[in-house]
Amino acid sequence: MASESEVSNITYEEGHIENSRGMKLFTCKWVPENQDPKALIFICHGYAMECSITMKSTATRLAKAGFAIYGIDYEGHGKSDGLQGFVNNFDDVVNDCSDHFTSICEKKENRGKLRYLMGESMGGAMVLMVHQKKPDYWDGAVLVAPMCKIADDMRPHPVVINILTKLCKIIPTWKIIPTNDVIDLAFKVPEVREAVRANPYCYKGRPRLKTGYELLRVSSAIEQKLEEVSLPFLVLHGGDDRVTDKSVSKLLYDVASSKDKTFKLYPGMWHGLLYGEPPENIDIVFKDIIGWLQERAALGNSRLEKELKAENDIFSKK
C-alpha cells in the first residue's frame, strides 16, 4: 500500500514490490504536480545507504526541475528485506533494479518519455550494470563518483583480500573486513556524517565478507569493460575523493564508446557530492546535473523516433 505526502508542488509516494526471490523491496517516487514530467529518472543509492531519506534532497531538486524520480532500496539496504548490509549476489540486485525500472518505463503513460539512470558510488556501478543488460534501452546516465574501482584507501591489503575471499564461502555474513570508516571518508560536512549515523536505515558496521567480495568483483568487472559503455553520460567526481577512484572515472570518459559523454572533476570536493558537501558546492554540482539533463530533454526523444521508424518500416513491408 502506498503512502503519499505533498511538498511544494511535488507528490511523494512509497510502496513495496516483491522480487524473484520473494523479498519485499521498498520503492519510492517524487513526481512534479500539474505538469507532464520532462523525463523519468531512476536513482540508485550507494553502499549502506537508502533512497527515501539520504537521497530525498537530490530527488526533490530534480523533481522541482520538472523530472519524475523513482528509487528503490536494494536487498539488505534501507527499508527493504534482507540482512542489513548484506548482498549475497550483486547480479541479483541488478536484476531487481532493472525489472522495477523497466516495469515503470513500460507503463502506458510513460512509453513516450525519456529514461535516465542516476547513481552515486556503488549506485554508479549499478547504473552501468543495468545499462549492460539492455544497452539500447536507456537514454542517458548521471554517474556520481561511480564505483568503477574502489580507492586504495578503502581496499584491504591483497594478502588480506585473498584470505577474506576464501573465508566468505564459510562465514559470508561476518563483519570482519578491515577498512577505514566510509562515513568519515565520504562526507565533508560533520552534520551530514552525524545524520547518516543517526539514520537507522543506513548500515554502519564493517562490510560483511560476501558483500565486500561482491563489491570488489563487480568493480573489477566494470573496470575491464569501460569501453562497452555506449549510452550518453555525465560522470562527476570530487578531486579529493578517497572512497572511489577518480582516475577510473576519467578513464571511463576516455575509453567509453558513447558519442555523448562529459566528465566533471571538482577540485577539493570529497566523495559525497550530492549531500556531503557545503551548500555552495552542492549547488554547483546540481547546476551541472540539471543543466545536462535539461539540455538533452530539450532535444527530444531520438530513441523513440528510431523505434517508431523501425515499427513503421516493418509495417510498410507487410
Summarised one tens digit per residue, pLDDT across range 147-195 is 987 766 666 667 777 777 778 788 888 887 777 788 999 999 999 999 9
d(CA 171, CA 186): 28
**For 136-196, where are the E strands, in sequence order?**
140-144
**What are the grid coordinates assigned to 2, written together?**
502506498
Neighbours of 279 (CB within 10 A): 8
2 belongs to a structural domain: no
Helices first, then strands: H and E counts in the chain: 10, 9
Average pLDDT, the chain: 91
What pLDDT score was predicted for residue 103? 97
d(CA 246, CA 239): 7
Give the chain's domain count. Answer: 1
What is the average pLDDT across 295-313?
78
Query: In which band, very low, low, confident or very high, does the pLDDT at 305 lie, cut at 50, 70 and 90?
Result: confident
Is the model's pLDDT at 196 over the cut of 90? yes
Q: 142: which strand partners?
A: 118, 234
316 belongs to a structural domain: no
Q: What CATH code is carried by the domain that includes residue 56?
A: 3.40.50.1820
Neighbours of 100 (CB within 10 A): 18
- Inter-residue contact 48 to 25 (CB < 8 Å): no
Q: Show the domain range for 120.
A: 10-311
- Inter-residue contact 208 to 173 (CB < 8 Å): yes
63 belongs to a structural domain: yes
Q: What is the DSSP letter of 242?
A: S
Is the model's pLDDT at 17 over the cut of 90? yes
Is the model's pLDDT at 229 over the cut of 60? yes
What is the average pLDDT across 71-77?
98
4 belongs to a structural domain: no
What pLDDT score was predicted for residue 156? 66
Query: In which band, very low, low, confident or very high, does the pLDDT at 93 lie, cut at 50, 70 and 90?
Result: very high
Query: In which band, very low, low, confident or very high, does the pLDDT at 2 lie, cut at 50, 70 and 90?
Result: very low
Closest CA to 97 of 69, 135, 76, 123: 123
174 belongs to a structural domain: yes
- In a 13 Å sphere around the CA of 156, the CA atoms on its Cβ side amount to 19
67 belongs to a structural domain: yes
155 belongs to a structural domain: yes
What is the average pLDDT across 69-82?
98
What pLDDT score was predicted for residue 168? 79
Question: What percent of the chain has pLDDT above 90?
Answer: 75
192 belongs to a structural domain: yes
Any residues with CB less than 8 A from the CB of 57 and at least 6 apart, and which?
274, 275
Is the model's pLDDT at 131 over the cut of 70? yes
User: Buried (b) or exposed (e) across 141-155, using 16+ Cβ within 10 A?
Assistant: bbbbbbbbbbbeebb
Q: What is the DSSP letter of 244?
A: B
- Inter-residue contact 197 to 204 (CB < 8 Å): yes
d(CA 39, CA 8): 19
